[in-house]
Amino acid sequence: MPVPNLLVAAALDEIADRLEIQGANPFRVRAYRNAARAVEPLADDVKQLAERGATLEGRPGIGADLAGKIAEIATTGSCALLRELRRQMPASITELLKVPGLGPKRAKALWQALDLRSPAQVLRAAREGRIRAVRGFGEPTERRIENALAARLAGERRFTLDVASEFAEAMVRVLSAAPGAERVVVAGSFRRMRESVGDLDILVTAANGPAVVEHLLRTADVDETLAHGPTRASVRLRGGPQVDLRVVPRASFGAALVYFTGSKAHNIALRRLAQARGLKINEYGVFRGERRIAGATEASVYRAVGLPVIPPELREDRGELQAAREHRLPALVALDDLRGDLHVHTDAGDGRESLAAMAAAARERGFAYVAIADPSRRPSMSHGLDAAGLARQAAAIDDLNATFDDFRVLRGVECEILDDGRLDLSDDVLAGLDLVVAAVHGRFDLDRARQTERLLRALGHPAVRVLAHPTGRVLGERVPCALDMLQVVRKARDCGTWLELDAHPSRLDLDDTACRMCRDEGALVAVDADAHGARDFDRLRFGIGQARRGWLRREDVVNTRTLAQLERLLAAPAPRRARRAPARTA
């Protein structure tokens, strides 16, 4: 079926979902559902019909109003009603309809009463006993929702990037040793650097597909073979993810890499472009009729539809195709662009290694600076530093800096943000430091207004330079705080404070959407390892992957600056810090 029809049907279903959550007339909701079911299987391309001035008016269940909306969606990708519904409620609100036991009315109630927007947030609220207090629920309903949702989410096992990376690298080594194997590439969500990975898609070019498949099936790490054939296999690794192997010929490698990298939404949009040119794209190549005209490389696939290669991290159908058409694709930040790290721990606080060891590890990576940010003392942190401890550490840092002529350790602290937004160290203590990293480590359950105000107050403190892991999320364990992220980003921009992208693979906080917001609003991001040991600097690659997914360029990341540029930013008053200093040029 034509790709535009699928997109129109999805938009109509989304309208129906949002109207249903709002409590709209059931007949109106059903009209959009029926229209989606009518459009999806049509042999006619609704976009081509609209461009010719034809409509679907008069078809079963489709009147003039619906026909007009279908034509608008087909030609522009949206319609005024859908845009208005998206403005009125959170983007992810329709996910609540997937929660067992939640219909539209209950989804709306949880959203309005507890600001719950995702199945993971609903599960956490149920476990904390907050749902039973919402009118119309009660404890038995809360338990049913918890049990059903826990079972559902448990069946969707996902792996953080560091774990997925270990399995991926092992599989590349294994398959590279297969008879006749040439190129081995991990595709899928791992290549797009999504924050978690469900399975690994691996492509291999080889003349002898069955030999490569057999090599995989004999690997000791394979726990279960799910399916296999001459050129493909699906296996589950022992203690790890499912691996889907495809052996492809050289002539199709680029097309297969595009196809299996995804995302599905990006691929659909790419196929739409191809269809507009009279072409067909699939995993085997780009075809004009029966003749393959491209497919050996990714560049050839994108070139066939008039585009440059789009970086894998951007392939989510979030405007990247339009940007590519208009030659506006960003030059994304890269790992080698980083000149330092602004959030490092030592054994003087809760870290595992000494100040000297952490500085040496940073210098070995080619960094020009690090900021030591051991935690301030608080009830839950027995190894935190008080004023005296910070003074001793500052003296040790000064002594260490005296031994360097090409590197600097910045004196800092990870200062706790109290419930009301004040900091837990005095202004006099903070004034004696080079850099203050402010962070929340408790009371994640404050409502959206109080949590937002808490962070806004901390961001406005003249000593604060970095807001660490802003939403407090831990993947698979703790959902993000309820925040008005746009207010936080704009406050950071106006105060010249930098929002951290914590590269710990269980955090990756900021997420990609918030990174994109920072770029759009002009707030700077610090990509930090939150390192507690020397090897933790390796995490930075995951943070850079997230930054790239958020469309961040080198100039959007503060620690791509040279030491001299960073020092000028630190010395400047807040209004001047808010303006971006130029990033290091290549």
Reported as a single tens digit per residue, the pLDDT across 306-319 is: 999 999 999 999 99
Helix (H) or strand (E) holding 157: none
Exposure string of 112-131, with b = 16+ CB inside 10 Å and e = fewer, is ebbbbbbbbbbbbbbeeebb
The model's pTM is: 0.74
More confident residue, 138 or 378: 138
What fold is seen in the domain 335-577?
A: TIM Barrel (3.20.20)
Q: H or E element: which one contains 73?
A: helix 64-76
User: Of 96, 74, 84, 123, which Cα lies nearest the Cα of 17?
Assistant: 96
In the predicted structure, residue 227 carries a pLDDT above the cut 70: yes
Is the domain defined by 1-89 classed in CATH 3.40.640.10?
A: no
CA distances from 113 to 106, 108, 110, 132, 137 (A): 10, 8, 5, 11, 12
Which class in CATH covers the domain with range 159-248? alpha beta
pLDDT digits (tens, 9 = 90+) for 28-83: 998 998 888 788 666 677 888 888 888 888 887 788 899 999 999 888 888 999 99
Q: Which residues are registered as beta bridge partners of 408?
A: 369
Question: Domain boundaries in the chain?
Answer: 1-89, 159-248, 253-325, 335-577
1-89 and 335-577 have identical folds? no
Q: What band does 128 get if pLDDT is binned at 50, 70 and 90? A: confident
User: Between β-strands 525-528 and 369-372, what pairing exists: parallel, antiparallel or unpaired?
Assistant: unpaired
Is the pLDDT at 498 greater than 80? The verdict is yes
Higher pLDDT, 86 or 553: 553
CATH architecture designation of domain 253-325: 2-Layer Sandwich (3.30)
